[in-house]
């Protein structure tokens, strides 16, 4: 499982791993975007109590 944090890491190795996770997440965003848009559209149809 990839983990990303906006907070800079303490060590250079951890920061490099964090940046690699960001690049991975950015690369799969086009595949995820249609699903996220569908989820958002459906969530707007559910009434909040």
Q: What is the tens place of the pLDDT at every residue in 17-35?
A: 999 999 999 999 999 999 9
* pLDDT classification of 16: cutoffs 50, 70, 90: very high
User: What is the structure's pLDDT at 3?
Assistant: 85
Q: Which of 8, 43, 1, 3 is nearest to 22 (CA)?
A: 3
Q: Which sequence spans correspond to the domains of the chain? A: 9-49
CB atoms within 10 A of CB 15: 13
Residues in the chain: 49
Phi then psi for 11, rounded to 5 degrees?
A: -105, 160
User: What is the structure's pLDDT at 2?
Assistant: 82
Report pTM: 0.66
User: What is the structure's pLDDT at 1?
Assistant: 80
Place of tokens 């699903």: 35
Phi then psi for 4, rounded to 5 degrees?
A: -130, 140
């Amino acid at each position: 499982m990839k983990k990303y944090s906006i907070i800079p890491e303490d060590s250079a190795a951890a920061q490099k791993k964090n940046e690699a996770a960001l690049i991975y997440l950015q690369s799969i965003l086009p595949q995820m975007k249609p699903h996220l848009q569908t989820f958002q559209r459906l969530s707007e149809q559910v009434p909040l109590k």
